[in-house]
Structures are given as structure tokens and as C-alpha cells.
Structure 1
Amino acid sequence: MARSLCNVCNFALNSCVCAAVSLLNNHVKVIILQHPSEQKVTKNTAKLLPLSLTNCQIIHGESEADFTQLNSLPSRSTVLLYPHQHAIFLDDKPALSALEPITHLIVIDGTWKKAYKILQLTPLLQQFTAVSFKQLPKNKYAIRKAPRADSLSTLEAIAHSLQLIEGLNPAPLYALLDALIDKQTALMPPHVKARYFAPNE
């Protein structure tokens, strides 16, 4: 039997996060390229972002044929958030100020392996400057494990990016993430919750 979903946040009714949503007017447009496997992941944070950001779009796909909208983006003022070896650090003010004022931020939503695959299958992405972080904020999203130490959830990565690029206060986005964590952990059996949190947490 299919679960009943909230028709606003699209989470299951027992994990609805609508009460924690605050609307933020971001000036930099966020474009999320989401691998199809992420669409039904209950712990996926990308789908929280259009609830709070007024300027945010999710495009589902795996390769260039799915992301033809990238052709219409301004190449000089659009950046791709990806830890490329030649990426410009958003938390390096001189380097950031040397860039064209950023109007669009592209973020790939998927596991590291699938994000890399999207990158390889979408040559269009190569026209955009890659950006990353010199120092990462602490990962708050403990309930979804990542294989790399330099991992942030999509919501955290975008919240931190917008704070650095346009000075957007990320607190409402982190509060929304906290609400999702609370809802998800409340539904976990104790032995499952123990995998993510130490006994004293």
C-alpha cells in the first residue's frame, strides 16, 4: 500500500516538515541536478530546498540529454558546486571577488559515484566554473552516512554556499534539516537509531 504523502512537502504524513518551513528570498538561482535514484529516498534533503528557497529548481536526470536547460544559463556567472581540483573556494574572499558576480548555482544531488557519473555524462557542465569550500562546516546530517569525510548533505552544501555568496542567513534551512532529522529518528527502531547516534547523544 502506498504511503499517504503531504501534498505540500511531499513527505509521508507522519514525517511532514511543513511546520518548520520558513521562506527565504535567495537572489542566486539554485539549480539541482538530481539523480533519479534520489527521488524516493526518504532522507533526501534536496527536496526540502524548494520549500524554503524562492529561487530554486530541481531537474531530474542522469546525462546531458536530461539537462538541456543548462544551455540557457549564462556561462560566465553560473558556477558548479563540485570539489574539482581547480575549483575556486567560496570561502576565499579574494578568489570569490575575482569571479563574475554569481547568478546561478548548480548542485548535483546524488551519491559521490552517481554525481561523478552525471558530471562525466554531461559535458555541458564543463563550461561553468567549479566552486568548492576550503573549510567545511560540521556535517549536521548524521542519519545519512557518507563514504567521504568531506561530505555535506545537499541542503547543507547549498545553505553554506548561499551564505558565502550572498550573505543569506542559513539558520532557517538548518532548522528545516533539524526537523527532518527529528521526524526520521522518531520513526526509527532503537537498534537502527543506535547506528547513527552514540548512546550519550
Structure 2
Amino acid sequence: MQPENEPGDQERRSFIEEARRAQIVSATIETIAEIGYAKASFVQIARRAGISPGLITYHFAKREELMKQVMLTVHASMEQALGAQVEGAESYTAALRALIEGFVFYYAERPKEIIAIGQIASASRDAEAARSWFEQQNAKTLTELEDMFREGQEAGELREFSPRVMAVSVIAAMEAAPAELITRPDTDVAAYARELADLFEHAVRRPASEASNS
């Protein structure tokens, strides 16, 4: 029989704690999506998780800490899902398509997550740290997209344009997708994703006539 303080017991406790934290984060997302950020109290979240409010405060001392963890969890999930698609792309335009289409499909499959982080990001007071983190992640994504466009131009695949302006435009268009799909739930998600990707592929791709003259 293993002593209580053996490494295996510590690992088991850690696993249980992580599972509980994940349960609380999931319940928080459900709560915000259902009744809104302002009403998403520890009591409401605990009710949906089937636990006591005290158990939430054991893992997250402050509401701000929990909201930031929601942002971290959703962003990590999205980054993993989109990163795998982009990394497998064979060209810069293919990578852009994978990013845009992947985001639209990600939202369509997980609308509650997008609603939750959107409300947290726009909230005030106790969500200030979460919002600040969200803005930092947006800035990082913007820089990465700029770099991708710049590399594509240097490789001769993409036409000349401002990488910054194009990156801002792509992100703005992707962020507008959730609102469109919410207000029009009968939207053909595949068609929407394809049209949006087509739009920006045409916007960045180097014309064939220029490529043949190089």
C-alpha cells in the first residue's frame, strides 16, 4: 500500500484537482452563455457544476482568476485546433484558408465558448486582468499573421500590400463571423467559411500574370 505522501499520490491529487478545475471552467462557460456574464456568480456556476460554491473558491479565490482561466482554456483549445491545420498547409494562401475556415468551423461547433470569452473580454471591473490578457493574445495573433504575410511576399507567392492592414482586416472579418452565425442560425457554415476564405485568398494572392513575368 502506497504512503499518502508518495509521488503517485501527489500526481493523483493533481489530476483530480485539474479535472475539478476543468469542470468549473466548463460550468462557467455554460453559465455565461445561458444567463450572461453579469449574472454568472459562483452560486450560479456551482449550481450548473453540481458542486458547492465553496469548492469553486478553493480552486479560484477570485472571480477574476476564474474568468482569466476561462480565457486561457478556450484560447489554448482554439490555438491547438487551428495550429494543426495551419502547420499542415503547403502554401501561404493555403495556410490563410485553413486559419479562416478553421475559425469559422470552430465557432460553429463551440458557440458557447465564443460567447463566454466575448462577454468576458468586453466586461469591466473583475474581468480587467482577463481582458488585458485577451488583448495581449490578439496582439500576438496580429503579429504572427503580419509575419506570415511578409514571408509570403518575400517568397513571391503573395502580392505587395501592407501586411499590417491585411492582418487587421482578416482578424476583424473572423471576429465578425460569430455575430453573423448567431443572428442567422440557418447560415450554411461551410459556404460562409469558403466565401470568407475566397475573399482573402483573392486579396493576397499574387496575380498569375505577375508570377509568369518574374
TM-score normalised by the chain length of structure 2: 0.29
Whose Rg is larger? 2
Please identify which structure carries the higher strand content: 1
Please identify which structure carries the higher helix content: 2
Query: More relative contact order in 1 or in 2 (CA 8 Å, sep 6+)?
Result: 1
